[in-house]
Chains A and B, each alone.
Chain A
Amino acid sequence: MAKILEKRPLTPITKLYKVDAPLVAKSAKPGQFVIVRVREGGERIPLTIADYDREKGTLTIVVQEVGTTTRYLGQLEVGEEILDLVGPLGMPLEIPVEGHIVGIGGGFGAAALLCLMRELRQRGDTTTIINGAREKDLLILNEELTEVCDNLELCTDDGSEGFHGFVTERLAQLIDGDGPGRPDMVVAIGPMPMMRAVTETTRDKDIPTLVSLDPLMIDGTGMCGGCRVTVNNEVKFACVDGPFFDAHQVDFEEAVRRNKMYVKQEQASKDRTACRKLAVGQD
């Protein structure tokens, strides 16, 4: 059980939660994730750890309501509890390169950059965050992100805020020396098409790039193998070997295909839960 201490809507479908999870907060490192289950009979889903406070024993997670479980989660209020929360899972992110590190967040993926970029900045790196979204209102956590990096670059597809265009277009400009300049390393967290596009942007530029893969998982401890991904022609379990991998070695096509394995079932489950009042834990 993890009690919700704070809840803040970031967009109409994205919510930030601060939860009481002292053991996880104490051990968490940037890049790791937790697995939650929100009701009896519910799924186990992985959620990236956006931030943590070891002293207060709290964990910050950001949830986008896209499926059954995230919608149940979205209905939980301050004072209520997340039924099961386990972690921290996965390998902490290691950034082997020093210098100018560019973190790219797409949609709610930007949240995961909070603890990572703060730590890199403390280490002495120059840190830039490119935060992108479709439109101004969907850009999340701008204030918090400003505090953890040296340069915050905003991008919107419709030009309603910051750079008019995709994060990859802005990234290409940086690589050419614009703004904070060429990155020594890029870390991308967000939707698969965005991470894939970032990967292609840096591939021929000799810029090491990491992406955070988000495959289907059950246990998160290496037990089921559902999260297997192919990296450098080797099969890896994202839950224990990842979630971060060398972007230029990832078989994205396979990863995208495997993530769509249950599309029909996910829709059926969503339809079922959408047409009635969601009663968390009592259904």
Chain B
Amino acid sequence: MPVKRVQKTPMPERDAVLRSHDFEEVNEGYGIAHAQFEAERCLRCQDPICIDGCPVRVPIPDFIHKVASGDMRGAAAVLRSSNPLPAVCGRVCPQEVQCEEQCSVGIRFKPVAIGYLERFVADWEMGQPALEVKSNLDRSEKVAVIGSGPAGLVCAGELARLGHPVTIFEALHAPGGVLRYGIPEFRLPKDVLDWEIEQLKRLGVEIRCNVIIGKTIAMDELMGEMGFSAVFIGTGAGLPSFMGIPGENLNGVYSANEFLTRVNLMHANEFPNADTPVMVGKRVAVIGAGNTAMDTVRVALRVGAEHGLIVYRRSDQEMTARVEEHQHAIEEGVEFHWLTNPVEVLGDEDGWVTGLKCIKMELGEPDESGRARPVPIEGSEFVIPVDNVVLSIGNKPNPLLLQTTKGLESNKWGCLVVHDDTSETSREHVFAGGDAVTGAATVILAAGAGKDAAAEIHRDLCEKM
């Protein structure tokens, strides 16, 4: 029987002072006792609407019930049947606005900690000797997946499960896309990512790094002489936006992409043992207040900044970061400048950043996003002294593939246009999903899009036969 308890079982976390100086994971994860204690709270609803909140439709009550009854292997199998990246999603999904928001327990109490339980099960599986996986690629039609971020990985995993030989083409030297270069080690350890990717390879997914479709190999070659019957484009939204304010090209100004890539992908935190440096002074201002901004400012503290600042033109009510990331940032001593809009990056005579000139804002009428529009307060300009500025104001899809591929329709934001029902682009047998279609969104929405597209590709290829 479900147990009524108001509160979620808390996630064990590392001490904020200690953790803000290293890259070890902040959340330590449930032990078996925590997990079973929490799993007891699930009501096992007849009509589990939590599943509706999940973009990959994990059978949530099933796996939680198995956790409660101690059948961890069974729980892992349930998870894996619907989500090829449970250890990743258990860590980085915004469950509070997805499955947990729908959870019936949440009507009166705090919702069941579905995310923490998902992570527990995936981590449990990671600690077990690997089960034999039968790679069963019995279909003849090969599928190419472009990009190895969450959309591409999930799509490839699903297609392999459906029997299609799949090859993922990745531009960088290591697979994972934003999970590799974007999300820092303390939120998603890279050995967890490596393990997830290893599971996909065991299903028969082939990954070729250092290949850029549209540059190294043309789309036409892929579908022509290379013999791929269908293509999934999961190239994400990797093109960083800049504000266009004066001083953005001063030395010491980064895009969040560059700053995070230097650390996460190139290991600049280990410089000079690793060869790529990152420039961090005493005071680092990060512009923006999404999850990437929180990641960036927390990385800045870990690579030596004494003060990490978030500068955001709206208030904390409008920020897009997850509550948990915001909370962790507060605990680690991040300073928040809400309703503050940068207007210029200031530099010294040698071209190095010295400060960020800002203007105070106030909230006005709601804008097209439904959030209160920030309006500048005249004459309120002031200067925040900083050594670095990192822009984390969003990314657009990378135009590289579009520039070199005929017949792919895109909208004015550079996002690929797909048929809603089928994920197919304007080119036959070419499908797309994730940030490349939606613009920058979340890991799990990309994963969901990858999963849906895999089903559509399978159907398309079966019809073709």
Contact = CB atoms under 8 A, between A and B. Distances in A.
Q: Which of A89, A223, A258, A272 has the most CB of B within 10 A?
A: A223
A89 B403 CA distance: 13
Contacts of A87: 212, 215-216
Nearest to A283: B273
B272 A269 contact: yes
A164 B265 CA distance: 47
Contact of A27 (B215, B262, B277): B215
Q: How large is the interface on B (under 10, 10 to 19, 20 to 34, 35 or more residues)?
A: 35 or more
Contacts of B238: 221-223
Contact of B216 (A37, A88, A269, A272): A88
Contacts of A39: 275
Given A41-B270, A41-B273, A41-B275, A222 B399 contact: yes
Interface string A244-265: 0000000000100110111001
Contacts of B173: 37, 44, 83-84, 86
Given A84-B173, A84-B210, A41 B272 contact: no
Given A41-B275, A43-B266, A218-B262, A228 B400 contact: no
Interface stretch (B36-44, B247-255, B335-343): B247-255
A225 interface: yes
B125 to A, nearest CB: 28
Q: Which of A37, A84, A225, A266 has the most CB of B within 10 A?
A: A225
A223 B272 contact: no
A223 B257 contact: yes
A18 to B, nearest CB: 19
A254 B276 contact: no
A224 interface: yes
A85 B261 contact: no
Contacts of A257: 251, 350-351
A235 B240 CA distance: 12
A42 interface: yes
B211 interface: yes
Nearest to A223: B238
A23 B275 contact: no
B400 A268 contact: no
B257 A258 contact: no
* B interface majority secondary structure: loop
A138 interface: no
B274 interface: yes
A258 B351 CA distance: 9
Contacts of B255: 224-226
A161 interface: no
A201 interface: no
A224 B257 contact: yes
A223 to B, nearest CB: 4
Nearest to B252: A261
Interface string A214-231: 000011011111101010
Nearest to B171: A221
Nearest to A228: B249
B277 A223 contact: no
A87 B275 CA distance: 21
A218 B216 contact: no
Interface of B: 171-173, 181, 209-212, 215-218, 238-240, 242, 248-249, 251-252, 254-255, 257-258, 261-262, 265-267, 270-277, 279, 350-351, 398-400
Given A24-B216, A83-B173, 17 more contacts: A44-B266, A44-B276, A69-B275, A85-B210, A86-B210, A87-B212, A87-B215, A219-B171, A219-B261, A222-B399, A223-B240, A224-B255, A225-B240, A226-B254, A257-B350, A258-B251, A262-B277
18 contacts: A24-B216, A41-B273, A43-B276, A83-B173, A88-B215, A88-B216, A222-B238, A222-B398, A224-B240, A224-B261, A226-B254, A230-B249, A240-B400, A261-B251, A265-B277, A265-B279, A268-B272, A269-B275
The 7 closest A-B pairs by CB, nearest first: A224-B258, A265-B277, A86-B210, A41-B274, A84-B173, A225-B255, A43-B275
